[in-house]
Amino acid sequence: MKKFAAILAAASILVGATACSNSEKAGKSSSNKDPITLAVWGSSPSESKALEATVASYEKESGKDVKIEVIQDNFQDALTSRFAAKNAPDVFYLESYAAPKFIKSGVLADLSKDIKNQDDFYQPLLDSFKDKGGKLYAAPKDYSTLALYVNKGLLEKAGYKVEDIPADWEGLVKFSKELQTKLSKDQAAMIFDNTLARNLSSLIASGLNPVTDKGKADFTSNQKAIDYMKSLVDGQKAGYLKNPKIDMGIDSAGAAFGTNKAVMMIEGNWVLSALKQEYPDVKYDVLPAPTVNGKKETMTFNVGYAVAKDTDNKKGAVDFVNYMTGKGQKQWSEMSGTLPTRQSVTKEMKIDQDPVLSAHANGAAYGTVWSSGVNLPTISQAFDNQLLAAFNGDKSVEKAMKDAEKEANDEIARQE
Amino acid sequence: MGSKRLQNIQGYSFLLPAMLVILVFTLIPIAYAFFMMFFKVDLLSGARTFIGLNNFAKLLDDPKFWASCRNTFRYVLFVVPIQTIVAMVLAALLNSKVKFNRAFLTIMFIPTLTSSSAMTLIFMWLFNNNGVMVNLIDQVFGVRIAFLNNPDLALSVIMMMNIFSTVPHFMTVFLSGLQDIPESLYEAASLDGANAFRKFMNVTVPQLMPITFYVVTMGLVGCFQIFDQAFIISDGTGGPQNSTLTFSLYIYQLAFNSNDMGRATALAFILGAIIFIVTYIVNKWLKADEVNG
């Protein structure tokens, strides 16, 4: 028995020790061979396939190895913990929304001189990855913009034509109100989204920039912007604007639209794959997002490739990013159905002549990129949280915005 | 002497794997959190500056902290007593010789087996503005209640859901405790002329005290740490109007949205202290150690 115990103790220590040395060896050998690690979030099957194919083309051309790591959920959180653990991937997807935080923390490699042919990118997309000094920290890989989708079948059934739809927001709201009277109770004239992410460009067009030059929140200084938000609140109250999740119990706007529960929606081009694959019978037109206060506006959601500062393979990483956002961009965009960030590729793919995609692609030049400094997450959270109070009728829009402004600015002060 | 030492080595060698795991994944993180709560920490770059008790001062000054405090306590005060009482009563009913009690037990256990995130999605489907519950209430009473975006009701939906899913688990715990109560106690009570209700109050409840203590403690810890349901129902925001913001959810927001690990660990410390104190008080109050179970 004693002997057994001694052997067991020795064995357990030995196993522990060898396990450690094994993992060390594995770590070393992999860093010697140097595959480029690429962290991405899980996305649609077509995007995953497109990524694998484009990466394979790169591997074939360069003879290098790229290891794709898919992080299925809460990408930002997982990436943050990877950085905290000093175990960051070489290259990773970066939303422009999160970019300021990463840039400020100083964990990204400066790519200002490494990315080729920067003038060819749509400049708003490129600018969202720059710091105040103009240094570039990521290369845009694709983007989405918002556009107005119209369900032609429902519209014509209600007795209207696509040409009847006004191009400005005020007209569109009035039109929705009229249209709603011809629909059944569970149908929506238009689907809306009450978050700042979807409405920032409309507020800016109204003359209010919710993020001041000093990075503070401002929701109250402009009456036109308040009126814009009121139009959303009134619309939801009267029932001609509906939130798919809260008012209709449908997971997404695309699903509500595809199942003929909504006539119009202002959505990004990410809905297209669902519309094509899951709801092929729905006939729709895509128009530019409505003008607000007489100005063209849309939101742009931009994703790029960033390189970790601590990577031991910056040269390989930069080479890879240049391929993916340069030579390989056409392959990626064509297969994934995303919009190319380079103007030359947009022309080459004839996207500006495409009846569906052109409304989206034209927005890239004037759209507001969803990114505005390190404090935007705090500011948008306060906005979303308080605007709901206005939708519930607990607070007037003015009061809700005043409270949101205070909530955001107090929190920003605490973070400094 | 020698054999005793060898026995000790033997014991520790058996414990070693578990001790290593506890050390690496529990004790060191706790110690590290103690250290971090006095710093301002940038999680991404790892940069930190010593700011003393400033993290705690910031929290006390923060309306969201107080909102999360209010929500969590409201949640605990509702859920723990209700789930304990309901579980005990159900267990007592199932323990009497009703027909098909096994079948009832099996059916009632299903919610516990369902993962809490799936459960949350089902409840969101039931309670959204066009959901089954809302339409049912509309048909019967003629009012439409917006459960999920009404700040007074959103937390109640989570409470209901948690009671629904934890009661069966605690019920089985009570059931096993009930089977340990000697039949002679009930016979003696019958001879004294006690009816079924008196027997329940004067025999079953006191005899179950150690089990009750376990159920209340686990209920308290679980409720204070409520996270996933609140996260899913509000998409991680704690809305509407901070009404579903709980301690754990706010810790998460501080760490990952505000990139402020120092404040997050300070809040985690406060939460730990609250759970410790409340459990201690409950322990004293229920006199768990003194009951002869």
> What is the per-residue pLDDT for B286?
78
Asked whether the beta carbons of residue B128 and residue A249 sit closer than 8 angstroms, the reply is yes
How much of chain B is in helix, strand and coil states, percent to nearest 5?
A: 75, 0, 25
Q: How far is A9 from chain B (nearest CA, A)?
A: 5
The count of C-alpha atoms lying within 13 angstroms of the C-alpha of B162, restricted to the half-sphere facing its C-beta, is: 28
Asked if the C-beta of A2 comes within 8 angstroms of chain B's C-beta atoms, the answer is yes
- Given the candidates 3.40.190.10, 3.40.309.10, 3.50.50.60, 3.40.50.300, the CATH classification of the domain at A34-144+301-369 is 3.40.190.10
How much of chain A is in helix, strand and coil states, percent to nearest 5?
A: 50, 20, 30
Residues of chain A with C-beta less than 8 angstroms from the C-beta of B242: 385
Residues A246, B129: Cα–Cα separation, whole Å: 6
> What is the per-residue pLDDT for A210?
94
Asked if the C-beta of A249 comes within 8 angstroms of chain B's C-beta atoms, the answer is yes
Q: Which of B62, B123, B124, B130 to mutate to test the interface with A (most CBs of A within 10 A)?
A: B130
Residues A302, A126: Cα–Cα separation, whole Å: 9
**pLDDT above 80 (res B149):** no
Asked whether the beta carbons of residue A105 and residue B130 sit closer than 8 angstroms, the reply is no
Residues of chain B with C-beta less than 8 angstroms from the C-beta of A382: none
B174: pLDDT confidence band, cut at 50, 70 and 90?
very high
Q: Which of A12, A107, A388 sits opposite B45 (nearest CB)?
A: A107
Residues of chain A with C-beta less than 8 angstroms from the C-beta of B3: 2
Mean pLDDT value of segment B234-241? 79
- For domain A145-299+372-415, the CATH class is alpha beta
Strands (E), A289-382: 299-307, 339-340, 368-369
B290: pLDDT confidence band, cut at 50, 70 and 90?
low
Q: Which of A9, A81, A377 sits opposite B13 (nearest CB)?
A: A9
Asked whether the beta carbons of residue B44 and residue A247 sit closer than 8 angstroms, the reply is no
Query: What is the pLDDT tens value at each position of chain A, 416 positions in all?
Result: 445 445 544 444 444 444 444 443 343 334 445 799 999 998 888 889 999 999 999 999 999 999 999 998 889 889 988 998 888 999 999 999 999 999 998 999 999 999 999 999 999 999 999 999 999 999 999 999 999 999 999 999 999 999 999 999 999 999 999 999 999 888 999 999 989 999 999 999 999 999 999 999 999 999 999 999 999 999 999 999 998 877 887 878 999 999 999 999 999 999 998 898 889 999 999 999 999 999 999 999 999 999 999 998 999 999 999 999 999 999 999 998 899 999 999 999 999 888 899 999 999 989 999 999 899 988 998 898 888 889 888 889 999 999 999 999 999 998 88
Q: How far is A258 from chain B (nearest CA, A)?
A: 18
Give me the torsion for CA of B208, B211, B217, B223, rounded to 10°. -90
Q: Do A34-144+301-369 and A145-299+372-415 agree at the fold level? A: yes
Q: Residues A233-256, buried b or exposed e (16+ Cβ, 10 A)?
A: bebbeebbbbbbbbbbbbebbbbb
- Taking any CB pair shorter than 8 Å as contact, residues of chain B touching chain A are 3, 6-7, 9-10, 13-14, 16-17, 20, 42-47, 58, 61-64, 125, 128-131, 146, 148-151, 237-242, 253, 256-260, 263
The count of C-alpha atoms lying within 13 angstroms of the C-alpha of B155, restricted to the half-sphere facing its C-beta, is: 25
The contacts of residue B230 (CB under 8 Å, 6+ apart) are B158, B238, B244, B245, B246, B248, B249
Q: Any alpha helices (H) in A67-212, and if so which ranges?
A: 75-84, 99-105, 123-127, 152-157, 169-180, 196-206
Residues A200, A399: Cα–Cα separation, whole Å: 19
Mean pLDDT value of segment B139-157? 84
Residues A93, A96: Cα–Cα separation, whole Å: 10
Asked whether the beta carbons of residue A248 and residue B130 sit closer than 8 angstroms, the reply is yes
The contacts of residue B242 (CB under 8 Å, 6+ apart) are A385, B63, B64, B67, B68, B71, B151
Percent of residues, chain B, with pLDDT higher than 90: 38
> What is the per-residue pLDDT for B152?
83
pLDDT one-digit tens code per residue, A289-310: 999 999 999 999 999 999 999 9
> What is the per-residue pLDDT for A385?
83
Asked whether the beta carbons of residue B10 and residue A2 sit closer than 8 angstroms, the reply is yes
Q: What is the ipTM of this complex?
A: 0.75
The count of CB pairs under 8 A between chains A and B is: 109
Nearest CA in chain A to B5: A2
The structural domains of chain B, ordered by start, are: 55-286 (1.10.3720.10)
Q: How far is B203 from chain A (nearest CA, A)?
A: 48
pLDDT one-digit tens code per residue, A316-341: 999 999 999 999 999 999 998 899 99
Assigned token pair, B74: 């409201």
> What is the per-residue pLDDT for B110?
86
Domain positions in chain A: 34-144+301-369, 145-299+372-415
Asked whether the beta carbons of residue B260 and residue A415 sit closer than 8 angstroms, the reply is yes
pLDDT one-digit tens code per residue, B200-212: 888 888 888 889 9
Asked whether the beta carbons of residue B43 and residue A386 sit closer than 8 angstroms, the reply is no
Burial of B183 (0-12, 13-18, 19+ CB in 10 A): exposed
Q: Which of B4, B134, B152, B258 to mutate to test the interface with A (most CBs of A within 10 A)?
A: B258
Q: Which of B14, B151, B260 sits opposite A394 (nearest CB)?
A: B151
Q: Which of A83, A384, A410 sits opposite B239 (nearest CB)?
A: A384
Q: How far is A282 from chain B (nearest CA, A)?
A: 23
Q: Which of A414, A415, A416 to mutate to test the interface with B (most CBs of B within 10 A)?
A: A414
Task: Sort strands B48-50 and B39-41 into parallel, antiparallel or unpaired.
Answer: antiparallel
> What is the per-residue pLDDT for B291?
55
Asked if the C-beta of A23 comes within 8 angstroms of chain B's C-beta atoms, the answer is no
**pLDDT above 70 (res B9):** yes
Q: How far is A54 from chain B (nearest CA, A)?
A: 30
**pLDDT above 70 (res B176):** yes
Which A residues 32-91 touch B at CB under 8 Å? Answer: 76-77, 80-81, 83-84, 86
Asked if residue B213 lies in contact with residue B280, where contact means CB atoms within 8 angstroms, the answer is no
Q: Mean pLDDT for chain A?
A: 88
> What is the per-residue pLDDT for A267?
95
Task: Report which of residues A232 and B234 the model is more confident about.
Answer: A232
